[in-house]
A and B are shown apart, each in its own frame.
Chain A
Amino acid sequence: MADVIMDVRNLKKNFGPNQILKGINFKAYRGEVVCIIGASGSGKSTLLRCMNLLEIPTSGEIYFEGVNILDRSVDPMRLTTKMGMVFQQFNLFNNLTVLQNCVLGQTVVLKRPRNEARRTAMEYLEKVGMAQFINARPHQLSGGQKQRVAIARALSMEPDTLLFDEPTSALDPEMVGEVLKVIVSLAKTGLTMLVVTHEMDFAREVASRVVFMDGGVIAEENTPDVIFNNPKNDRTRAFLTRVLRKN
C-alpha cells in the first residue's frame, strides 16, 4: 500500500468566476479502490476529469506514477493511456462494433498487432460477459450491456488505474447489478480504481477508502466502516442521512 500512484496537490479549478475545486489534496495507492461520494455539484466529476486532463486545472499539481501530468514538457496523451475511464453515458464509438470498440485503441495507440489486439479484447469481453455480442453495434445494446462493453474497452488498454464516473447512474435499476458485479470482480485484480458513485452499498462493500466531497473540497476521508458508521464530520453525517433515507 505504500506505493503512491496518484498524488493530487492543492488542485483548483475555476469555471469562469466560479471556483469548483477549492484546493484538493488527495493520494491514491496502487491497488486501492477509492469511492468518491458527495452531493450533486460538489465537484466529483470535475476532480476525475482533471486527473485525465479532460479539464485543465486552474492551479495545483497532479502526479501520476511520479510524473507531473500538468508539466508542459510531458505528452498528455502518453499518460492518459495508463489511466482508463468509464463514463456515466458509456460513450461507446457508435460507428464501430463491440469488438472494434475494444480493438481500436490497442492498434492505434499501443500499436499492438491486430490478432493480439483481438485476443486481448475477447479476453476482457468474456470477463464482462459480452463475448456473444461482438458483432453488435452500440445502439443495438441495452444500457447495462453498453456499460459492460465500455468497461471491457477500457480494460483492453490494460491501464494501471481506472476512473469511473457514476457508472450506473444512467442505468435502469435492474441493470445496475450486472455492472456493479463486474466492477466488484475487478476490485480483486489489483487494479487501482477511483469510483464516483451514489451506490452506498457498493461503496461500503468494495471501497478500501471512501472520500466525501462537499463544496469543492474533500470534507472527510476514511475507511468505509468509519465513514458509514461513525463519520467525524457533520456534513458527512448530514449527507449520508439524506441519501440513505432515500433508499
Chain B
Amino acid sequence: MGYFIVNKYPEFLRGAGVTLLISITGTVVGFLIGLLIGVVRTIPMRTTDSKIKTAFLRVVKFILQAYIEIFRGTPMMVQAMVIYYGIASLFHVSMNQLFAGFFIVSVNTGAYMAEIVRGGIESVDRGQFEAAHTMGIRHGQTMRHIILPQAIRNILPAIGNEFVINIKDTSVLSVISVTELFFASNSIAGTYMAYFQTMIITCAVYFVLTFTVTRILRMVERKLDGPSNYAILNDSAISENAMEEGGV
C-alpha cells in the first residue's frame, strides 16, 4: 500500500482534484438552476392576470416539472451515457469529457436542488409574503430580499448533503472516461492488479474530501446565524446608528 501512496500519489491527487472540481461546479451551478426554478415555480398565478401571462406561466412550469421528474427519476450513470454518446452520434462530435462531466452533474443536481429550494421557500411562513404584497413589493424583490435569505439558510444542510453526494457520485462519470478519482484509481488498480490496496486509499481520499466539506459548511452555517444579542441604544447613539449601520 505504501508503494502506491509514495509512487502514485500524483495520479490520486489529480483524480481527487477533478472530482472536487466537478462536484463543486456541479453543486454551485445546480444550486443556481434550483434557485431560478424555485423562484419561477412559486410565481403566484392570479385570476386577475392576463390570459397570455397565465398560459405562458403554465407552459414554463410544466416544462420545469418535466425536467425535474426526468432527471430525478433516472440514474445519473445512464444520463451520462445518453448525453455523452447521444451527442456523439447525433452531431458527430465528441464532447470534451470534463465538460460533459460538469454538464451532467450540474443538470442532475439542478433537478434535486429545485425541489430543495421549493421546500425552503415553502418553509418561510406565508405571512411574510403577504406582508411584502401589502407593501407593494413584487415577487422577485420579495424573493431576493426576504424569502431566499431565509430559505437558503434553512436548506444549507440539504445543500451540503447534495455536495457530499456529488463528491461520491461523480465516480459514475468513469463510464464516460472522465479522469476523476475513481477512474484514476481504477486504472492504477488494473495496471498493478492491486484492487484492495488502491481502493482502500481511494476510500480514504473520498472520506477526507467529504469530511472537510462537511466541516466547512457547518462553519458557514454558524457564521450566517449572526450575533445572538443586540444592543439597546440610548438617545445619542440612535441617530448615529440609524445612519450608519443596519442598512438594507
Interface residues, chain A, CB within 8 Å of chain B? 52-54, 56, 70, 72, 76-78, 80-81, 83-85, 87, 89-97, 99-100, 103-105, 107-109, 114-115, 118-119, 121-122, 131-137, 140, 150, 153-154, 157, 163
| Chain A residues within 8 Å of B245, by CB | 135
Beta-carbon contacts of B44-57 to A below 8 Å, as 1s and 0s? Answer: 00111110000000
Please report which residues of chain B, range 30-72, place their CB below 8 angstroms from some CB of chain A when the two chains form the complex.
Answer: 46-50
A78 to chain B, nearest CB (A): 7
Once A93-B128, A93-B146, A104-B137 are accepted as A-B contacts, the answer to whether A137 and B230 lie under 8 Å apart by CB is yes
Specify which of B132, B138, B241, B248 is in contact with A107 (CB 8 Å cutoff): B248
21 sampled A-B residue pairs with Cβ under 8 A? A54-B130, A54-B134, A80-B135, A83-B134, A89-B127, A91-B127, A93-B132, A93-B145, A93-B146, A94-B128, A96-B145, A100-B248, A103-B248, A104-B137, A104-B146, A114-B248, A122-B242, A135-B246, A136-B230, A140-B230, A153-B131
| Chain A residues within 8 Å of B133, by CB | 52-54, 77, 80
A97–B232 Cα gap in the complex (Å)?
A: 13
Which 5 residue pairs are nearest across A and B when measured between Cβ atoms? A81-B136, A91-B127, A91-B131, A85-B134, A105-B135
| Chain A residues within 8 Å of B135, by CB | 80-81, 84, 105, 109, 153-154, 157
Closest residue of A by beta carbon distance from B233: A132
| Chain B residues within 8 Å of A131, by CB | 233, 238
| Chain A residues within 8 Å of B241, by CB | 134-135
Closest residue of B by beta carbon distance from A94: B150
| Chain B residues within 8 Å of A100, by CB | 246-248
Specify which of A83, A92, A108 is in contact with B131 (CB 8 Å cutoff): A92
| Chain B residues within 8 Å of A140, by CB | 230
Beta-carbon contacts of B218-248 to A below 8 Å, as 1s and 0s? Answer: 0000000010001111100011011101111
Beta-carbon contacts of B148-181 to A below 8 Å, as 1s and 0s? Answer: 0110010000000000000000000000000000
| Chain B residues within 8 Å of A94, by CB | 124, 128, 150
B48 to chain A, nearest CB (A): 6
Q: Is the CB of A109 within 8 A of B131?
A: no
| Chain B residues within 8 Å of A70, by CB | 48
Q: Is the CB of B131 within 8 A of A85?
A: yes
Specify which of A103, A132, A157 is in contact with B238 (CB 8 Å cutoff): A132
Number of A-B residue pairs at CB separation under 8 A = 128
Q: Is the CB of A87 within 8 A of B242?
A: no
Q: Is the CB of A108 within 8 A of B145?
A: yes
A100 to chain B, nearest CB (A): 5
Is B187's CB within 8 Å of the partner chain A? no
Q: Is the CB of A109 within 8 A of B149?
A: no
| Chain A residues within 8 Å of B242, by CB | 99, 118-119, 121-122, 134
Closest residue of B by beta carbon distance from A150: B131
Q: Is the CB of A91 within 8 A of B47?
A: no
A131 to chain B, nearest CB (A): 5
Q: Is the CB of B137 within 8 A of A105?
A: yes
A76–B141 Cα gap in the complex (Å)?
A: 16
| Chain B residues within 8 Å of A54, by CB | 130, 133-134
| Chain B residues within 8 Å of A135, by CB | 230-231, 233, 241, 245-246
Closest residue of B by beta carbon distance from A75: B136
Q: Is the CB of A77 within 8 A of B128?
A: no
Closest residue of B by beta carbon distance from A85: B134
A132–B242 Cα gap in the complex (Å)?
A: 10
A54 to chain B, nearest CB (A): 6
